[in-house]
Amino acid sequence: MTAKRSVREVLTSPKIGSEVRIEAWVRTKRDSKAGLTFLELNDGSYFQNLQIVVSATLPNYATEIPKLHVGASVRVLGTEAQSQGGKQSVEIQALEVALVGACDPAVYPIGKQKMTYEYLRDFTHLRSRTNTFSAIARVRNVLAMAIHGFFQERGFLWLHTPVITGNDAEGAGQMFRVTTLDVAKPPRAEDGSVDFSQDFFGQGANLTVSGQLEAEAYACSMGAVYTFGPTFRAENSNTSRHLAEFWMVEPEVAFADLDDNARLAEDFLKHLLRTVLEKCPLEMEFFKQRVEPGILDLLNSVLENPFKRLTYTEAVEILIKSGEKFKYKVEWGIDLQSEHERYLTEQVFKAPVILTDYPKGIKAFYMKMNPDGKTVRAMDVLVPGIGEIIGGAQREDDIELLKGRIAEMGLHAGPLDWYLDLRRFGSVPHAGFGLGFERLVQFVTGMGNIRDVIPFPRTPGHIKI
């Protein structure tokens, strides 16, 4: 059988004159008066379609070609040829065209007409057949590999942290419970509460909100590690930046402080942007033309300039002095809202901002206390268009201070005893952060809604597939 080549292979390294087999889906079909039909095929490998020229002289032209509609799958045998049209350099002169799976245009929901992102959210299983969603899928793939490339080159170990966990890393309690108990008739303790000691694990269990605590355990023996996997949050946030299931990248480094952490975050983000610009030029040009006109200028300016660093306290002063009317009033101690974060990065600095040293009251128990006793060595990285894209910290490595924080925040010390061991036995200054992968994809593509940058989004009230 003639060798198969992908659309990408044919368009990027043509072999003019050679025979080839293409297996793909019809994106467009056009009949010309000259007894020719032009098919544009796409197989997901490349942004551009491959043009197939079908002559009416083919034996099955009259029977098969009328059955080819947009969305149908086809197998084409043909010859690679220099294209006559201006749009592309190579096309296929068909020798044989076979319909593999028909697609009825009367009921196919993915038409040529402009479909809104909202409309396509009802067809998550079909939307990767459009230019926008196939481009996003390829960018996601390139970013995922760039993440591994960055850390592997620097000697980090990829750590597989559990999805089902017995702890609540962020101490925020917004977790999905994992249980095999009969929810209609769970066993009860004497006080009437559900008796989770009879559950599958002999205790309560949840889906992880972060692999950080487990990553700390391995950083404190392996030196530098990172996790990259799905993360779950049962927060009832119906925003364009929140998902109930998202992917997070969490590096964790021993013998490192907050400065090292901030430098790592900046180098990491820049590496990811550089890689996408280099590997996905057609996708990025498309996002510029169809999604966000300023996207290439933005990414290039982020690459060329150092990130701005300042403390939370300095940021709050800037926000108060700005005179800007915010929906949520700014005062020292508040958790910054997206509008504040975006004002700082988009209006004030016009660059990514790394905010450090947040009030302890709004941050997690594990963050290292500053000598002022009021702030902790936290850092958030804010970027234009998104706001917070990274959250991280230097961790508390002093066991007494850490015990104090656990008690002060009313957390149960028992389940965290293993975590205290990391401070009991060879404690070390260490730091890390979490990058929300979908927020990164939003930032890179300019897509406005996070539901459109993950293949199958889960949000409050929505889990169709």
Residues paired with 375 in a beta bridge: 359
Alpha-carbon span 77 to 27, nearest angstrom? 18
Residues paired with 23 in a beta bridge: 75
Residue nearest to Mg ion (CB): 391
| Touching ligand 4AD, residues 169-188 (CB under 6 A) | 169-170
Using CB under 5 A, which of 391, 432, 446, 457 touches Mg ion?
391
Interface pattern 111-150 for ligand 4AD (x via CB under 6 A)? ----------------------------------------
CB of 205 to ligand 4AD, least distance (A): 19
Alpha-carbon span 75 to 73, nearest angstrom? 7
Alpha-carbon span 237 to 40, nearest angstrom? 41
Using CB under 6 A, which of 384, 385, 387, 392 touches ligand 4AD?
392
- Please tell me whether residue 212 binds ligand 4AD under the rule CB under 6 A: yes
| Residue 122 CB neighbour total at 10 angstroms | 11
- Please tell me whether residue 11 binds ligand 4AD under the rule CB under 6 A: no
Confirm if 195 and 186 have CB atoms less than 8 A apart. yes
Alpha-carbon span 145 to 148, nearest angstrom? 5
Interface pattern 405-444 for ligand 4AD (x via CB under 6 A)? ---------------------------xxx-x-xx-----
Handedness of CA 432, 364, 220, 163 (dihedral sign): negative
Q: Which residue has the tokens 């406005």?
A: 448
Residue 356 interacting entry, from Mg ion, ligand 4AD, none, C-beta within 5 to 8 Å by type: none
Confirm if 208 and 147 have CB atoms less than 8 A apart. no
Q: Which is nearer to Mg ion, 391 or 446 (CB)?
A: 391
**Hey, what long-range contacts does 107-113 have (CB within 8 A, 24 or more apart)?**
108/69, 108/70, 108/71, 110/70, 110/71, 111/70, 112/28, 112/70
Strand ranges (DSSP E) for 10-127? 19-32, 36-42, 50-55, 73-82, 90-101
* Cα-based distances in Å from 97 to 54, 395, 438: 8, 62, 40
- Please tell me whether residue 387 binds Mg ion under the rule CB under 5 A: no
Residue 439 interacting entry, from ligand 4AD, Mg ion, none, C-beta within 5 to 8 Å by type: ligand 4AD
CB of 37 to Mg ion, least distance (A): 54
Residue 423 interacting entry, from ligand 4AD, Mg ion, none, C-beta within 5 to 8 Å by type: none
Residue 254 interacting entry, from Mg ion, ligand 4AD, none, C-beta within 5 to 8 Å by type: none
CB of 388 to Mg ion, least distance (A): 6
Tokens, residue 275: 């890689």
- Please tell me whether residue 228 binds ligand 4AD under the rule CB under 6 A: no
Residue 429 interacting entry, from Mg ion, ligand 4AD, none, C-beta within 5 to 8 Å by type: none
Residues paired with 196 in a beta bridge: none
- Please tell me whether residue 453 binds ligand 4AD under the rule CB under 6 A: no
Q: Which is nearer to ligand 4AD, 54 or 364 (CB)?
A: 364
- Please tell me whether residue 390 binds ligand 4AD under the rule CB under 6 A: yes
Helix 258-279 × helix 131-153 angle, to 10°: 130
First-residue to last-residue Cα distance in the chain: 37
Tokens, residue 145: 């590999």
Residue 170 interacting entry, from Mg ion, ligand 4AD, none, C-beta within 5 to 8 Å by type: ligand 4AD
- Please tell me whether residue 250 binds ligand 4AD under the rule CB under 6 A: yes
Q: Which residues bind ligand 4AD (CB under 6 A)?
A: 169-170, 210, 212, 233, 235, 242-243, 246, 248, 250, 388-393, 432-434, 436, 438-439
Q: Which residues bind Mg ion (CB under 5 A)?
A: 391
